[in-house]
A and B are shown apart, each in its own frame.
Chain A
Amino acid sequence: MNVGIVSYGVYIPRYRIKVEEIAKVWGANANSIIDGLMVYEKSVPDMDEDTITIAVEAARNAINRAGINPEKIGAIYTGSESHPYAVKPSSTIVAEAVGATPDLTLADFEFACKAGTAAIQTCMGMVDSDMIELGMAIGSDVSQGAPGDALEYTAAAGGVAYILGKNNQVANIESTYSFTTDTPDFWRREGMPYPEHGGRFTGEPGYFKHVTSAAQGLMERMGTKPSDYDYAVFHQPNGKFPTRAAKMLGFTNEQIKPGLVVPRLGNTYSGSCMMGLAATLDIAKAEDRIFMTSFGSGAGSDAFSFVVTDKIEEIRNGAPSVEKYLENPIYINYATYARHKGKIKL
């Protein structure tokens, strides 16, 4: 396919809370949680940050990184499971804030944690068919776990934006394939603040079944194998799942290492594997081949195969890297965290 990533940008809020701090509040054993999840800390949004502000910062970083003219962006799709409005698109605010209005089409996407990769696929089709010159696909979330629920240890905040186009590709998208079924592993009803999940049901029939099926499906169609890739990125609800999925598929720990951002970040939901891809692009060289598979509960997975071009060097330092956002965090305690997340109603 003659479509690829032309630029990308990320944003991670400055605050972190350590797993120990959350465990202390609930009288839980922090070490067994850290061992079980392979997550040490997670990002927390500031009180005036939400999915939209995070999406805007990521989108501006993507535009600045490659010096994109925002008026050439013909479509913006924002994927999230925490859009601030039930009715009123996040994408209109993002488009206005990056100067892309009014000559474009946009919509918000929802598919648990894979809404952002579904947005990438939509932009790919529109660019490839010459409906638009450039499309922007965003994954952004300020995820919520109910107080005391297992998800509270990992539900984090962050956003990633990719600009897709034909010219000046920094990573060509060789192919994509999706695997989707109706699987009720995780849901949140309208008006409810926190999601519900099927406990252990989330692992095998949810995450592993869909991730491995999409990944194997794409490699079969392309005639590739894990050793053909320099790097691989899988959706990261915690550190354990992507590490195990990689092993099941035949990828090594070295291949997934640069993109495994979850131990220091938490699960950024719609931003999760897109953040891992960004961290991998941050260090990738021309000709590197990257494999990525997302997962969204409900359930589905989108697999992609990328080849990095020599243009990556030209845009590498145009915007902050994932590492830049991960270093130098401000740690907060549970009381401050609860206030940031609005768990205490004022």
Chain B
Amino acid sequence: MSSVSVVYALLFYFATAVLVAGVVRKIVQYAKTPAPLKIPTTPAPVTQGGVVYRMAKEVVLFSSLFKSNKWIWIFGWMFHFALLLVLLRHLRYFTDPIWGWVALIQPFGKYAAFAMIIGLAGLWARRIVVDRVRYISSPSDHLMLALLLGIGVSGSLMTYVDHTDIVMVKAFFTGLMVFDVNSLPTDGLLLVHLALVVALMIVFPFSKLLHVPGLFFSPTRNQVDNPREKRHVAPWAAKLDAQED
């Protein structure tokens, strides 16, 4: 077994630990921080069920973004859903036997890579061409797009141009899951692809990728509009009441 395999195995363990610990830490932090006032952007649902529906529309359809800007919506939505398909397709490298539905989406997942690349390219083009978006971009915003695009392009090259030994790759990852390090093919494309994925996993909890958990905790979207019917008091605010009475 090559030393490359060992290095990559360690990298993946490290990246997974950082990703999981970092995101869990953030989720706990968000969950623990109170929202002392009712601030849903109205019109807002008046029932909990309504909130679930509102959130589902945001998560699945990007409904606010749709209202806002059709270009960002189309590129953004395309990228995210292609990414989802691609990720699901990749489950085949972690499960043995391959789950039926994963096999089923395999052909879609393969083409989704193109949609993902087009979406990312569109978003990047806007970041460069539109004066307002260029102004608000910092280097990290460009780097993030470069990273994702690098992952998409290197992955597609392996799918369509220069195949790697996929059986060995699968053996490597299924091995990792039981703490057993197997050999990884050492062709350049695969190593680049995996290195970029590792990098993405590590920056996730320290970057704007936190919009993923953030969306679910956004009080302007997830609160029920019922302040007159139900008194809403945060623990720290209740203390003010207690001091007085």
| A, B from the same assembly | no
Q: Spell out A's residues near B (CB within 8 Å).
A: none
Q: Which residues does B use to contact A, with CB under 8 Å?
A: none
